[in-house]
Homo-oligomer: A and B are copies of this chain.
Amino acid sequence: MRELELLSHIYRSNPALPAGVTIPPGDDMGAVLLGGATVLVTVDQVADGVHFDLATTPIEKIARKAITRNLSDVAAMAAKPVGAVAAACLPKGFGEDKAKTLFDAMHATAEQFNCPLIGGDISMWDQRLILTVTIFAEPDGIDPVLRSGAQVGDVIYVTGKLGASLITTDDPPGYTHHLDFTPRIALARKLAVNSAIRPHAMIDLSDGLALDLPRICEQSNVCAELDTNNLPISHAAHLAAQRSGQPAWQHAMGDGEDYELCFTAPPGSPSIMPAEIDGVPITQIGTIVAQHPGPVVTVRLPDGTLADTASLGWEHKG
């Protein structure tokens, strides 16, 4: 069962959302009006055995990821973080020292991104560690970028480099992308504040480009064409390809947990889109086309033949 199926269910079961809900469930963040202000909200959980391995991962990095995963959703809306609350369910015997380390590190990460922790809830149980973080954000002068705004003719871009985010590389030493990534908040706001290159639609890559790009397409009622030769492939994805025997582009498209941004911008944008922002490369990877009965995302393979994400094994289910 995919997360979005259930989120869609929540949405579908709620056709009469109050007028104050300005962004309904199904985007990277929801939004409501509160005292005349727009409040954007996102929640994410990280669980031992699912999103990290407590036995092999430093507590500080687990805590960091619990915060940054959410901040990546904030980036996807081009919003500005305001505050966070964190809930932790600790395994019995976890110990007060480790709990303090955990909260100190969540606090430090939150502060680094100007997103103070203002509350929390701690429980203990005989099950594994799970952390749930809710972050709220504000537009602060920049209209949120939704998933639903992609237009035919738009150029598709991604930030950074993709693939094999679980692999520890030597660049820099010990770097493991899914734990150490920087949420692209500042970059997203630089894009979105500039009317010439402001994204029409944006999403953060958590499940992988092959699953996340179709979400932009479905919510925008468009299709997409990608060229695998254009994908920015991470050093880790090249390492992974050597080990797995799969082509590196497959790791870049499918591995997930990149926490980079995928966005679309107008047809004229390539001539003015910076090659990088704050040292992060911006790469043109494809084009938005009109909705058609064929595959949602058509992929040009390195040999020039065409395929689609579903036939390549990435089954998008909403």
Contacts and interface: CB of A to CB of B under 8 A. Distances in A.
A119 B41 contact: yes
B34 A107 contact: no
Interface in A12-62: 13-14, 17-18, 20-21, 23-25, 29-32, 34-39, 41-45, 47, 49-51
B136 A103 contact: no
A47 B6 contact: no
A122 B31 CA distance: 19
Given A107-B14, A116-B32, A9 B136 contact: no
27 contacts: A1-B96, A1-B122, A3-B121, A6-B103, A6-B122, A10-B103, A10-B107, A14-B117, A18-B114, A24-B118, A30-B119, A32-B83, A32-B118, A35-B37, A37-B37, A41-B85, A41-B119, A42-B119, A43-B119, A43-B120, A43-B132, A45-B87, A45-B132, A50-B89, A87-B132, A89-B130, A125-B128
Please tell me how many copies of the chain the complex holds.
2
A120 B43 CA distance: 6
B41 A136 contact: yes
Given A9-B100, A103-B6, A134-B134, A118 B35 contact: no
Given A85-B30, A104-B13, A107-B10, A43 B136 contact: no
A86 interface: yes
Nearest to A31: B118
A125 B47 contact: yes
A3 B47 contact: no
Contacts of A83: 20-21, 30, 32, 34, 39, 41
Contacts of A112: none
A292 B119 CA distance: 30
Interface string A228-259: 00000000000000000000000000000000
